[in-house]
Amino acid sequence: MTRLLKTILPIILCALFGLSFASPTQAVASLPIVLPALTCDALSTTDFSAAVGAKVTINHTEMQTSAQGSWCKVSATIAPEIGVQIALPTQRWS
């Protein structure tokens, strides 16, 4: 019995581990699409300093599009001199 358990237990654990990845993918697919709260242009005039806890300067925002979708590319500086670039999707937020 012990030898059988030592043989079957790893197989069962591997199967359960593999199945654990199937469920979240299905859950994400069923989430509603969330639209952005601000337009790309509006991001350039928004002050994010209080949320970040340091002075944030938005240097540039630009809409970009490809076959994978569209996004707002944001270039910013967080005090003292931390450069940041973020690509925020305009569709398919989840």
> What is Dmax (Cα atoms) for the chain?
70
pTM of the model: 0.60
Query: Helix, strand, coil proportions of the chain in percent (round to 5)?
Result: 35, 35, 30
Distance in angstroms (rounded) separating the CA atoms of residues 74 and 89:
11
Q: Residue 80, preceding bond cis, omega within 30 degrees?
A: yes
pLDDT tens per residue across span 17-73? 555 565 555 666 677 777 778 888 998 899 999 998 999 999 999 999 988 888 999
